[in-house]
Structure 1
Amino acid sequence: MDIKIHFLSIPGTDNFIEGTNFNDLYTLHMIDTNVSSIVFKNILFVEQYLKTKIAYLVSEQYGVYTNPKDLSNCNPEDYLYRNNYGRSDRGRNNILRQLKETLSSDRINDSVAHYANIRNHIPPWILVTNITFGLTIKWYNILSSSDKTRICSEFLQTPDLSIDEKKEFISISLDLLRRYRNKIAHGNRIFNLSGLPALPKKQLLDLSHNVLLSSEYNKNIGKSDLFAVILTCFILIDNRYILTNFMSDLIYTLNPYANIRMNGKSILEILGLPNNLFDRLDALHKQKFS
């Protein structure tokens, strides 16, 4: 969405609110760029966490051997053997084929090239370095029910949610982060993005330790917006140092504009974030690692 929409007296026109100046537009553009970079970086941490968890599980359960040239996925010795994965997913064979095709493409990285040329196998922890976040999520989606249970339980260790509730949250939250990441990568503004999946209310309120209120969620705050993405990163990243840096980066970027108002709104409000964002993130951080 174009930044200028926040400065229009009549939506859908080019009539700016009296007093709007170029500096306001430029300031908002720079804030958008900087916050996008911070969020993007932390979504990458979630992506790496997912890849690591899948690679460790698959190698432990199904071994380290795969043949990139065998696209039938019928070899029981191959960790991409189709019967290792959920039989109900119609796209299973296609996804397994996509995984192998990344190993045969001209875009393999140095790690894959080394294993392909020197070793006699390409283990899962090398495969994941060569695939996209989207394909990684597809790989997760075709895992067997028990394998999904293990990964979801590692991500979400709370005893207050059933495994089905955990699986629902992981599935939707990964899709939310993927879509948001793609929008940032394609240069979209992070202000008021629409069409993103909504996080399930019960799980979100529980996992955020109620730093998000039910009444706020009902008003679409923290449901599928920037605040939802930030909360999701805080929930899925289990590293005190990374989350401390996440907060510090946001504070460093946004605090200089704490007393600035544009069109009667604070910068945080324009971003769709609560004005006490940092207090909430600090409370969530303390609860998470208490």
Structure 2
Amino acid sequence: MQIDRFYEELEELLYSKGITENNDIDFLNDLENHGYLNLYSAYKKILNIDSETPINTKDLKFIYTFDFDLQSLVFKYLIQFEISLKERLNYIMCTKFGYAEHEYLAKDNYNTSGKFNVENTINNALLKIRYDEYPIKHFINNRKLVPPWLFLKHIPFGNVQQLYKILKSEEKSSVVNHFITNHSSLTIDLKKEFFDNSLEYIRHYRNVIAHANRFINHNISTDRGNKKSFLKHYFSESILTEYEFNTSLCRNDVNGLFFLIIILTPSKLLRDRFIFELDLLIRQYYEADEGKKIMHISKIPENIVDRLSELNNLTH
């Protein structure tokens, strides 16, 4: 009974903040399963509760569910990018450095004159390896080594990002040109700057999703956002205008992450699949009674799928 009263009090607290009740849903049950923090606190800054169109409990459930579904979709493609990045590093390590740890993790293979400490970066990655787990344990027992593909598979994205940063210029170029294709007019330095920035952009939103924080209408700091020097090459009326970018669209928001997924996914099959699945998701929510109100709050353009389709045609 105390537990029931706990959630009843939270529900009453919501109503005192201007949220109205909608009898179509059992919001008390939603509070018990998702929590006050996830259903209300995460969104209160973006909900215009004092507007002429009041926000009710069904709206809260709707925006939470949309956010969750969108996160699930995006996370799948961020994981695929991580897999591709690890595989590119694996290729470089295997073909240029060697298959044994003392070969592919040798300091001389990396840029020791850069601003990142090579030894610390490598040691931090090694700390993440569980040598007593399969299949690493199997390789150690039978082949007396941990090949690059296993080493990379068992370290988090943040450590992979740091390993990329300590690569020498030639190896960095190999990675960047694998992901950013069909851009012969762009200098390698510009592509490297964009890629460096994209890794931080992706890492930030990946962590937002992993910790179940609000995803829609969430902004990364502008100094870590997408750079105009690169995205200006895509400026057009059908993809993204300079005015839209200057007013934050795709600069440091979720829409910018959508752009990165298209730009940095070499596989046409995966790019097409992402656009298709995003289109299905957005159509599903736009067609609901609460759709337009909540989608407006999300700051995702109604024509985002058309924009991404145009970008897809230009990028690769």
Same fold (TM over 0.5): yes
Q: Is the 8 A contact 1:172 1:198 kept in 2?
A: yes
Match of 2:142 among 106, 113, 118: 118
Residue 205 of structure 1 corresponds to which residue in structure 2? 232
After TM superposition, list the pairs within 5 Å mapping 1:169-184 onto structure 2: 169-184=194-209
Q: Is the 8 A contact 2:194 2:230 kept in 1?
A: yes
Three-state SS of the structure 2 residue aligned to 1:188 is: coil
Deviation at 1:64, TM superposition (A): 0.6
Residue 43 of structure 2 corresponds to which residue in structure 1? 3
Deviation at 1:80, TM superposition (A): 0.7
Which range moved further: 275-284 or 16-25?
16-25
Three-state SS of the structure 2 residue aligned to 1:3 is: coil
Equivalent AA in structure 2 for residue 117 of structure 1: N
2:152, 2:215 → 1: CA distance? 28
Residue 126 of structure 2 corresponds to which residue in structure 1? 100
1:156, 1:40 → 2: CA distance? 20
Higher helix share: 2
Which range moved further: 88-97 or 52-61?
88-97
Q: Is the 8 A contact 1:66 1:79 kept in 2?
A: yes
The answer to whether 1:282 aligns with 2:313 is no
Aligned residues: percent identity? 28
Residue 3 of structure 2 corresponds to which residue in structure 1? none
The answer to whether 1:156 aligns with 2:180 is yes
1:267, 1:6 → 2: CA distance? 10
1:142, 1:7 → 2: CA distance? 43
The alignment's C-alpha RMSD in Å is: 2.3
Deviation at 1:153, TM superposition (A): 1.4
The answer to whether 1:165 aligns with 2:190 is yes
Residue 229 of structure 1 corresponds to which residue in structure 2? 257
Structure 2: which 5+ residue stretches go unaligned? 1-40
Equivalent AA in structure 2 for residue 175 of structure 1: E
Equivalent AA in structure 2 for residue 48 of structure 1: I
Q: Is the 8 A contact 2:220 2:253 kept in 1?
A: no
Distance 1:267 1:121, change over 3 A: same
After TM superposition, list the pairs within 5 Å mapping 1:3-152 onto structure 2: 3-10=43-50, 19-67=54-102, 78-89=103-114, 90-103=116-129, 105=130, 109-152=133-176
Can you list the C-alpha shifts for 1:121-174, whole angstroms capped at 9, x where unaligned?
211111111000000000000001111111111111211211110110000001
Deviation at 1:98, TM superposition (A): 2.0
1:208, 1:102 → 2: CA distance? 41
Equivalent AA in structure 2 for residue 5 of structure 1: K
Can you list the C-alpha shifts for 1:182-210, whole angstroms capped at 9, x where unaligned?
01110111122234421111212326887
1:20, 1:194 → 2: CA distance? 23
Q: Is the 8 A contact 1:85 1:142 kept in 2?
A: yes
Distance 1:288 1:163, change over 3 A: closer
